[in-house]
Chains A and B, each alone.
Chain A
Amino acid sequence: MSTTRTKRALSRPPVGLHRTVPIGIVLALVLILLAVVAVRDLVIDQRWATGQTWLPDLLAGLDGTTPTTGVLVAASVAGVVGLLLVLVGLTPVPRRHTRAPDADQLWSSPAAVAAVARAAADRAPGVLSARTARAGRRRIVLEIATRGDEGAALAASREAATTAGNALGARRIDVRTAEEE
């Protein structure tokens, strides 16, 4: 039997790496750096090695600080960075793949759906060539070059592309004629 863990994992859509993961790695490195500096300061303070301590000098420099414009500018920059971090942390995990409605676990990226829809549109009657103008999760735009009856070719290729794309879970596929160059 599938375990509940497996079922849970299969019920969740595949997701990309969240933007906070690199930030987490940087923060972990900062913590390690802090530990190294603190221990180094202790070693120097106990005269086990010679050198200049870093943290005490840095922190003692705070004495005598008043709310000057420079302090406010630095604080504002920190505030903007903080706001960005909060926003990045609150945005949902990027979700790219869409599930094919007729298959249990077939997930396609927008680029894959666009490629299949493009190939289908390319095979439609009256179409000279087809290219993907835009491949997004919500909308895919195809551009075709036609010969003869433009309206018929557009309708046929739209029909073909939509059928192919919907089979892989596309939401909306637009087909338009390419601009003449």
Chain B
Amino acid sequence: MTTRRTRGTDRAATILLGLVLLALAALAWEWRLDLTGLLDPEGEITGVGPVVDSSWWPWVAAAVGLVLGVLGVLWLLAHLPRPTRGSTRLSGSDATGRLEADHASLAKALAERWASLAPVTGTRGRTTPDAPDVILLSGHVELEADSADILDAAGQVERELTEAFPDLDVRVRFLLEGASRQPRTRRTTEIAVEEPAPAAR
């Protein structure tokens, strides 16, 4: 899971690239149609050859390329799932000792508790880099689930979490997904009746 910042960069870069492409297209059409008279439709591009053949070109190109490449690597790395802060410092900490809640074990325990209370299957708990103190619990609803059971279970898990962390150091969010694909429980037995094939002569 990436951070909001990375996602924002992706979005801005996409819009920017789109605008650049649009501008290039507009420029080409303007060149041909000569609506503003700024570009000569009879003219042609000149002067690129001497520049790229000059002695400084490879150095400048390599330097600019390297800068862009480093940016590219950083940008790419930002998309990797990053280890989030693994624990939350609790309010009960003081000079005599620190109290920390470990996210991984908390998420696992909450996911198991939710699965035992609610009609959900395949529950998982995780945290995101954007909000390390929020445990995201996701699960698939059971086929015959009742909405009251789901609401009661969510309320119960939240209550228990509040009892464990009265200062609301750790919060929980439930994500309920559709029923997961389950192996068929009611198998039908299909019997194919075929007419006997006429004996080959």
A42-B176 in contact (CB<8A): no
| Least CB separation from B47: chain A residue | A63
- State which residues 36-67 of B face A: CB under 8 Å: 41-49, 51-53, 57-59, 61-62, 64-66
Residue of A nearest to B149 (CB): A116
Residues of chain A within 8 A of B173, CB atoms compared: 10, 14, 105, 107
From A14, A80, A103, give the contact of B175 (CB < 8 A).
Answer: A14
Interface size on A, residues (CB 8 A): 86
The B interface is mostly helix, strand or loop, or mixed, namely helix
Q: Is B147 an interface residue (CB 8 A)?
A: yes
Q: Is the interface of A mostly helix, strand, loop or mixed?
A: helix
Question: With contacts A42-B62, A45-B58 known, is A105 near B172, CB below 8 A?
Answer: yes
Q: Contact: B69 with A82, CB < 8 Å?
A: no
Q: How many A-B residue pairs have CB under 8 A?
A: 275
B133 lies within 8 A of A3 (CB): yes
Which one of B13-21, B94-102, B103-111, B193-201 contacts A?
A: B13-21
Contact across chains for A31 and B91 when beta carbons are under 8 A apart? no
Who on chain A is nearest to B46 by CB? Answer: A63
Q: Does B175 contact A28, Cβ atoms closer than 8 Å?
A: no
Identify which of residues 19-35 in chain A touch chain B, using a CB-to-CB cut-off of 8 Å: 20-21, 23-25, 27-32, 34-35
CB pair A103–B66 under 8 Å, yes or no, is: no
Residue of A nearest to B33 (CB): A67
B14 to A35, Cβ gap below 8 A?
no
Please tell me if the beta carbons of A60 and B11 are within 8 angstroms of each other in the complex: no
Contact present for A100 and B69 (CB under 8 Å): no
In contact, B10 and A106 (Cβ under 8 angstroms):
no
Contacts A/B (CB < 8 Å), 10 sampled: A1-B168, A6-B133, A23-B13, A27-B13, A29-B76, A32-B72, A37-B65, A38-B62, A71-B32, A115-B179
Closest 6 CB pairs of A and B: A35-B69, A111-B178, A38-B65, A79-B25, A82-B21, A24-B10
